[in-house]
Chains A and B, each alone.
Chain A
Amino acid sequence: MASVEFQNISKTFGAFVAVPDISFQIADGEFICLLGPSGCGKTTSLRMIAGLETPSSGRVMIGGRDVTYLHPKDRGISMVFQDYALYPHMNIADNIAYPLKVRGEQETRRHARAKEVADVLKIGDLMKRLPSQISGGQQQRTSLARALVYPSEVYLFDEPLSNLDAKLRLEARGFLNHLQRDMGMTAVYVTHDQAEAMALATRIAVMDKGRIVQFAPPIEIYRRPATTFVANFVGNPPMNLIAVEASIGEGALHLKADGLQLAPIALTDAIAKAATSGRMTLGVRPEHLRIAEPSDRNVVSGDLFANENMGPESLVTLERGDNGRVTARIFTDDEIRVGTSVHLAFDTRHVTLFDDSGARIPAADER
């Protein structure tokens, strides 16, 4: 296992800048998720670690060694592809054993090793089949087995679960998590599914338009999203973002928006500075909203838009005229009954404020 480092990496395709400038360090044993919407440069970044794409500038280091111009075969890496890339003319045993074959391992030994790995992944009895003769989930595990069959410095994953149905995806995710705890592998895992990233990563790099917007542990990303982009991308459903007018009066911050009733918020230097623009964004997670009672002071109101029962919880969504929707996630065994107009209350301790540019304003208890 080894560390991975990007030093001022950029990548352009012709005139198109896919990655403007990225630097990061991944320590030995970390499981990193590159998370972001489609087309933000995740695969390109991963392929530069693998050596399948050469950076336009900058350096890639693996285990302290400069590998920027090294051929993929010499980097000591494993990779699982989104389309699995199983060789259609080889049976499962030969597919899994292929990395050992190119390493000059003799046939009986490499097949024995392939069988070992296949058994762990519960595909040991499919060894004689062709890839076209097994299911999608089994193909996925075959490609995983091929990546695990030989020792590797870094494991790379490009959306390995995105072609599975929901149930298999959960199962495979759990297995990957177990594997990470078991092996302590260094891994870079590309996904656009925030739940996958939250579940697997020791740290998440949230990417937008070829840049890393925030690089932090999952809890940090969830609790303190650096920007409205991150806030809106992480969480299911994501954080509610309400555009508000900000003003300062009587030593406190006053926020105004349609349907919003909010007690003044204590000032900090950061808040005071951000308020000068007159505009802010108020963020509140769905689980921090509840059905309001008459005594509540911080309330957002609107017309009922949807009331979805998910079993242990309900998603109640209200619509504030033309000013967007707010969703609450309410944990209860009882069916939620709401009228045509809904009032949702929240605690200002669980509110996140973003300034005019979308950057998070540090809370009072942060230095």
Chain B
Amino acid sequence: MRKRTQNIFVRRTIFAAAATFLGTIFALPLVWFIFAPFNARAELGLAIPSPFTLSNFATVFQNTFAMQALLNSLIQAAGGVVLVGGAATLAAYALSRSPIPGKGAVTYILLLFSSVVSGSAAMVPIFLIISAAGLIDTHLAVILVFAGGLLPTAMFILRDFIDAIPRSYEESAMVAGASPLQAFFDVALPVIRPGIVVVVVWAFVNIWGSFLIPFILLRSDKLMPASVAIYSFYSEAGTPIVTLLAAYSLIYSLPVIALYLFVNWKFGFRFFGGIKS
């Protein structure tokens, strides 16, 4: 009996030690990421800043190109998210609720193509299309291409979500006197909302971190997003200026963290919840 408890104790200790070791390895870059921006002599090695300084941030804030880029990222991400969120919700709702034959195949084929559209293989045709449309070097170009690439997956996720919601919600609303539009906005939309939130966050993160599409579709400095502007913290020789890069990266990641916190506080991340009693 005692032998066994000892045995368990030893095993637990080993497990905890291994888990701590692995955890530390993964945590190290994050710790660097938090400390380096406040260190005036930051290098690629991990070091606790002494003294703590905001001088890196001061320099970064003076870089107007980089600051404008953060705003551009926000515009492009917000535009893309609104388009993807709105269009995916309506399309997924229609695909889920209407008796269109072959609607499953439609979603799968779109899904297949979407990985092509957002992949680098399609960059040349996309560039040609956008340039033929006269949209090169506009926010709209970036927003449209992202929306096109993300929509199929967003529709797929949302359709699955809506399929799991009983039709009797909208049916009972319509029997009670609601028009289809009222039934959608009063009853279906609030119930679908957790799914939309997931899609919105996912789309935002995708656009926020993307480099290739804006890099190809935009020319002027004043439209470039942060993912491109981050390269202005490289020296001409192509080596990173670690101090500034670290500070800018921290600022760059803040909106994403803020979005997660906000969504979690406001809606909570649930995928299939709040429907069944």
Contacts and interface: CB of A to CB of B under 8 A. Distances in A.
Given A71-B174, A72-B175, A85-B166, 19 more contacts: A50-B175, A52-B171, A73-B177, A73-B179, A79-B172, A81-B172, A85-B169, A85-B171, A87-B187, A88-B191, A98-B186, A102-B173, A102-B179, A131-B277, A132-B277, A139-B277, A143-B172, A146-B172, A146-B176
A102 B171 CA distance: 14
A86 B191 CA distance: 11
Given A83-B168, A85-B166, A52 B175 contact: yes
20 contacts: A50-B175, A52-B171, A52-B175, A72-B175, A73-B174, A73-B178, A78-B176, A79-B172, A81-B168, A83-B166, A87-B187, A87-B190, A88-B191, A88-B275, A88-B277, A89-B191, A99-B176, A102-B177, A102-B179, A146-B172
Contacts of A71: 174, 179
B274 A98 contact: no
Contacts of A132: 274, 277
Nearest to A71: B174
B182 interface: yes
Interface residues of B, number: 20
Contacts of A102: 173, 176-179, 182, 186
Contacts of A75: 175
A72 B177 CA distance: 7
Given A72-B175, A79-B172, A86 B186 contact: no
Interface in B150-196: 166, 168-169, 171-179, 182, 186-187, 190-191
A150 interface: yes
Across chains A and B, which 6 residue pairs bring their CB atoms closest together, nearest first?
Answer: A99-B176, A85-B168, A85-B172, A89-B190, A79-B175, A72-B174
B173 to A, nearest CB: 7
Contacts of B172: 79, 81, 85, 143, 146
Interface in A58-87: 71-73, 75, 77-79, 81, 83, 85-87
A217 to B, nearest CB: 28
A68 to B, nearest CB: 16
B277 A86 contact: yes
A367 interface: no
A103 interface: yes
The secondary-structure label for the interface of chain A is: mixed
Contact of B274 (A81, A85, A89): A89
A83 B166 CA distance: 9
Contacts of B175: 50-52, 72-73, 75, 77-79, 156
Task: Tell me which of A52, A72, A103 has the highest count of chain B C-beta atoms within 10 A of its own C-beta.
Answer: A72
A51 B180 CA distance: 13
Nearest to A86: B277
Given A87-B187, A102-B182, A81 B277 contact: no
Contacts of A85: 166, 168-169, 171-172
Contacts of B182: 102
A360 B87 CA distance: 61
Interface residues of A, number: 29
A262 to B, nearest CB: 52
Contacts of A87: 169, 173, 186-187, 190-191
Contacts of B190: 87, 89
Contacts of A72: 171, 174-175
Nearest to B178: A102
Nearest to B101: A14
B95 to A, nearest CB: 19
Contacts of B275: 88
A78 B275 CA distance: 23
Contacts of B166: 83, 85
A77 B182 CA distance: 17
B130 to A, nearest CB: 41
Nearest to B182: A102
A157 B206 CA distance: 48
Interface string A39-63: 0000000000011100000000000
B277 A103 contact: no
Contacts of B169: 85, 87
A79 B177 CA distance: 11
Nearest to A149: B176
Nearest to B180: A71
Nearest to B166: A83
Nearest to A143: B172
B194 to A, nearest CB: 10
Contacts of A81: 168, 171-172
B181 to A, nearest CB: 11
A98 B191 contact: no
A83 B168 CA distance: 8
A213 B141 CA distance: 66
A3 B67 CA distance: 71
Nearest to B176: A99
Contacts of A86: 277
Interface in A283-303: none
A44 to B, nearest CB: 14
Nearest to B169: A85
B8 to A, nearest CB: 40
Nearest to A77: B175
Nearest to B277: A132
B184 to A, nearest CB: 12
A146 B187 CA distance: 15
Contacts of B178: 73, 98, 102
B15 to A, nearest CB: 38
Contacts of B274: 88-89, 132
